[in-house]
Structure 1
Amino acid sequence: MGSANDIQKPWIETPLIESATLSKLAGCRIFLKMDLLQPSGSFKSRGVGNFIHANLKSHSQTHPPHFYISSGGNAGLAAVRASQDLNCKCTVVVPHSTKPFMINKLHQAGATEVIQHGASWFEADTHLREQFIIPEHNVDGANVYVPPFDHPLVWEGASSMIDEIARQLPAREGEGEGGGGTNAFAADAVICSVGGGGLFNGTFELASNPPPGVEVTSVVRSDAEAARGVVLLADETRLQVELACGVSVEVAVGKELKKAIPDLNPETRVVVVVCGGSNVSAEIVAGYREQLAAGWE
């Protein structure tokens, strides 16, 4: 195994594109941050990849690390892809509720082993820690626990997205070249999905008491509305995302955006984080389209 310092980080800079169709529907300028193009198919490549990369830099080369993560989906896939890129082993523990579709993806991505245990992520995670991480089962310290969302290194990796957006946004009138040319962030709002909290630095405190100059609006939508976003994005970009991502697209073109930004106008800039997700297929998207046409709400 080579030095981690000689290996590129296991995620990429993704494009930021302005969507004429979504902008027309929303009544403002909609920019799509295309993180579904990450190696694992989701933004999780950034945070989980950053954790694994940083761990390799500090880990003893005497015992190459074997990474372990509990996840029924995207975080596990991100860990496997990052480990493959960095020539390491990675085992994923998933709950029994995980679909065969995702288990197959984990195997195909190169997981050392996929273990099913428990009825929930919590039970899978507890099993992982007890069987592979506690000292009596990890004598040489080579087994490394990868937090799927709750760790500063994961948040740091996810935050790289905002640095990219700041560089990629076109300059406002009167600014220098590039939207990141001044201290002002060249967008009025960022829409992102929050599950485990990886896209919001993982903490409830930041949502409840955001830093000065930041306003946070929480929006909860139905699965049917999220599916509308999935179908809309597929039609607009010919790309597929899962429900947890599609909901951000739906919010961007719906009434919630106008409520959150009362002075919304054609020059308002909104970035939608297209966070991706691998639990989707052409058949699943087609099924959403049929259900919506049949009156799913």
Structure 2
Amino acid sequence: MGVNEFLQSSQEQSRPWVETPLRESYALSQAAGCRIFLKLETLQPSGSFKSRGIGHYLVKRVEELPAHINNPHIFCSSGGNAGLAAVHASRTLGVACTVVVPLTVKQLMVTKIKAAGAYEVLQHGDAWADADKYMREELMPQAGEAAIYAPPFDHPDIWAGNSSIMYEIATQMPDSPADAIICSVGGGGLLNGIAMALDDLRLSDSTTVVGVETAGAESLAAAVRAGQLVTLPRITSQATSLGCARVTQLTLDTAQRQNFKGVVLPDAEAAMGCWRLADDERIMVELACGVNVALCYDGRLEKALGRKVRPDEKIVIVLCGGSNVTVNMLSEWRKEYAYLEEPVVRKEDAKVQDLPEEVPEIPRRAPVHRQWNEEVLQLEAKL
């Protein structure tokens, strides 16, 4: 999604996603030692950024349907949030939607997907790949031509929809671009979209991207270490929304660029990020999102960046959202990981994934901040 497509989509009233606020957090800024901004994807119709990518993808698929198909049916396999986004998008588009999730997904998410208006919610297999295979091979053939497959992250149209986050940030932060963007990495759809938009906005040289994973779901970190895509034998992290055993090729390519930093934190750190965000900002997020917030505390951000931060530095955390959280879950995490209430920074708490020794040279244009300001002003004028 380039600037022109972003401008066009921003005028559409029936799109399945909304523009979200970018808010500076005083509490997190104090903790991190720099200016922290929160991109509130928690306010999307589905409660997560997935509304952007899945919504954009499904709008295109419905538009492309042959005229003789009058009863299309969306099928989405998911760890939870993509399925919820697909259901919300299907309601906007007036199309039925069936969601298949693995058996590891909690009943809380299954109930939320049903309540959102899903035609049917089924559970199958121990991992997303099992649920996806069952859906494509057993369920979709029954719908014939009417079936619309909605992948949770691995499609250019999904990445394009996710890229709209960065175009919004550009209009919301017009004076100068962010020094860094922090986002979670599961299959890589969000990271891919952010990287695509940074390239389009000519900010890849000046804005660092920090991709955060949880231990036990670190498929990107494993791929970076191996220098090629790898498949994790199983997912052991409690952050099930990040439970993708294999990232996309574009995600690995992005992680091998010089403006990328990769971080892997344990579930305990992710849980700490969740309850501290609830304390400091009164915002509830699940583990897959809380892991980003954890970087703000106890020097983890400087470890991730590999340098000291400046007080005037602007860093955006994409609060990707997610619905797999309740007040009781926050309370249980706080009890289980009480030792992090007064954390001691340990070397193993945050592991910055080093890039391979030889990184492919990627041609880039030098950032021109004056041109950036002019382009953003033109973008704002058109909105």
Settle same-fold status: TM greater than 0.5.
yes
- Residue 116 of structure 1: aligned partner: 123
- Residue 203 of structure 2: aligned partner: none
Which is further off, 90-99 or 238-247? 90-99
Residue 285 (structure 2) pairs with residue 238 (structure 1): no
Any stretches of 5+ residues in structure 1 without a counterpart? 173-185
- Cα distance in structure 1, aligned partners of 2:260 and 2:108: 35
Any stretches of 5+ residues in structure 2 without a counterpart? 1-10, 193-247, 344-383
- Residue 253 of structure 1: aligned partner: 297
Which of 19, 41, 50 is matched with 2:47 structurally? 41
- Cα distance in structure 1, aligned partners of 2:104 and 2:252: 30
- Residue 83 of structure 1: aligned partner: 90
RMSD across aligned positions (CA):
2.0
- Residue 148 of structure 1: aligned partner: 152
- Cα distance in structure 2, aligned partners of 1:205 and 1:95: 25
Work out whether residues 192 and 248 of structure 1, in 8 Å CA contact, stay in contact via their aligned partners in 2: yes
Which of 254, 270, 274 is matched with 2:315 structurally? 270
- Which one-letter code corresponds to 2:160 in the other structure? E
- Residue 194 of structure 1: aligned partner: 185
1:248 shift after superposition? 0.4
The change in CA–CA distance for 1:71 and 1:245 in structure 2 (over 3 A counts) is same
Give CA deviations for 1:232-261 in whole Å, capped at 9, x if unaligned: 111122111000100101113342321315
- Which one-letter code corresponds to 1:156 in the other structure? A
- Cα distance in structure 1, aligned partners of 2:167 and 2:314: 16
Work out whether residues 14 and 34 of structure 1, in 8 Å CA contact, stay in contact via their aligned partners in 2: yes
- Residue 167 of structure 1: aligned partner: 171
Which is further off, 157-166 or 194-203? 194-203
* DSSP-derived class of the 1:219 partner: strand
Give CA deviations for 1:251-294 in whole Å, capped at 9, x if unaligned: 13342321315241110110000001100011111112222335
After TM superposition, list the pairs within 5 Å mapping 1:6-155 onto structure 2. Answer: 8-63=14-69, 64-134=71-141, 137-139=142-144, 141-155=145-159
- Cα distance in structure 1, aligned partners of 2:126 and 2:306: 41
Which is further off, 245-254 or 107-116? 245-254
The change in CA–CA distance for 1:292 and 1:207 in structure 2 (over 3 A counts) is same
Which of 243, 253, 259 is matched with 1:206 structurally? 253
- Cα distance in structure 2, aligned partners of 1:273 and 1:206: 21
- Which one-letter code corresponds to 2:256 in the other structure? N
The change in CA–CA distance for 1:266 and 1:55 in structure 2 (over 3 A counts) is same
Residue 273 (structure 2) pairs with residue 229 (structure 1): yes
1:99 shift after superposition? 1.4
The change in CA–CA distance for 1:200 and 1:294 in structure 2 (over 3 A counts) is closer
- Cα distance in structure 1, aligned partners of 2:297 and 2:339: 22
Work out whether residues 11 and 49 of structure 1, in 8 Å CA contact, stay in contact via their aligned partners in 2: yes
The change in CA–CA distance for 1:290 and 1:150 in structure 2 (over 3 A counts) is same
- Cα distance in structure 2, aligned partners of 1:222 and 1:39: 29
Work out whether residues 191 and 252 of structure 1, in 8 Å CA contact, stay in contact via their aligned partners in 2: no
- Equivalent residues, number: 275
Q: Structure 2-normalised TM-score? A: 0.68
The change in CA–CA distance for 1:125 and 1:234 in structure 2 (over 3 A counts) is same
- Which one-letter code corresponds to 1:50 in the other structure? H
1:47 shift after superposition? 0.5
- Cα distance in structure 2, aligned partners of 1:266 and 1:7: 39
Q: Structure 1-normalised TM-score? A: 0.87
- Which one-letter code corresponds to 2:17 in the other structure? W
* DSSP-derived class of the 1:51 partner: helix
Work out whether residues 15 and 34 of structure 1, in 8 Å CA contact, stay in contact via their aligned partners in 2: yes
- Cα distance in structure 1, aligned partners of 2:340 and 2:63: 53
Work out whether residues 132 and 143 of structure 1, in 8 Å CA contact, stay in contact via their aligned partners in 2: no
Work out whether residues 255 and 262 of structure 2, in 8 Å CA contact, stay in contact via their aligned partners in 1: no
* DSSP-derived class of the 2:153 partner: coil
